Amino acid sequence: MNSSNNHVDPQEIAKFEALASRWWDRNSEFKPLHDINPLRANFIDELSPVAGARLADVGCGGGILSEAMAQRGAEVTGIDMGEAPLAVARTHLEESGLDIDYRQCTAEQLASEQPAHYDVVSCLEMLEHVPDPASVVAACAELAKPGASLYFSTINRNPKAFLFAVVGAEHLLKLLPAGTHEYEKFIKPSELAAWIRAAGLQMREMTGLVYNPITRRYRLNERDVSVNYMLRAVKPS
């Protein structure tokens, strides 16, 4: 694959390649992903029951969400541009015994091969790591069948988000490695909503993912999208 195209940030890929071997270690830098994964999976499955559905997981990394969706009966295709995370994802399938089709390609490449193919498209914790997130949203829309649901999650861009997601998570609480996020790449809900509309999709539910540093637990809160948030859009039938 040509990772020098304008859909890919080589530095972002290198960042996660370096951490790939620890992707499935629940006490590693990926602990937050493991902690929020049941919330993400439930949010998707409750609004779009995935059993028997074709699901594309865009930016799948080491396969944490892909496996959760496959366990619930989805027919999953997971894509990522990181070779090492995909190798970890494929290796973990030997432990889980699940059947997932992992591919090294961009959302735009998959959309050109399989337009209007998927019942559900997920693109979680990925948009803030690419140079052209609007293009990824548009590609996700192309992947979706008419009537399909699409799920996006990212981080809001405001002083509170900088304090919580960068200063707090990376430097004070050490939940994530320093440098995981770049504040300038955070995305306001209004910006994401504009890209969704431009891609011909319709906004539906939105909720926040809120972390309590005292209990060290995450929960969904639809009234607080000030830091991490997740939403559903639909492709008109």
Kindly give the confidence (pLDDT) of every residue in the chain, 237 residues in length, as a single tens digit, with 9 standing for 90 and above.
Answer: 344 356 778 887 887 777 778 889 998 878 888 999 999 999 999 999 999 999 999 999 999 999 999 999 999 999 999 999 999 999 999 999 999 999 999 999 999 999 999 999 999 999 999 999 999 999 999 999 999 999 999 999 999 998 877 776 656 666 666 667 788 999 999 999 999 999 999 999 999 999 888 898 999 999 999 999 999 999 999
Query: How much is the pTM?
Result: 0.91
Q: What is the pLDDT of residue 11?
A: 85
Which residue from 225, 153, 158 is spatially nearest to 196, judged by alpha carbons?
Answer: 153
Q: Whole-angstrom Cα distance, residue 123 to residue 140?
A: 8
Residue 175: other Cβ atoms inside 10 A: 18
Q: Whole-angstrom Cα distance, residue 173 to residue 167?
A: 9
Give Cα 148 to chain centroid, integer Å. Answer: 17
Can you list the domains of the chain with their CATH numbers? 10-234 (3.40.50.150)
Instruction: Please name the amino acid found at residue 43.
Output: F
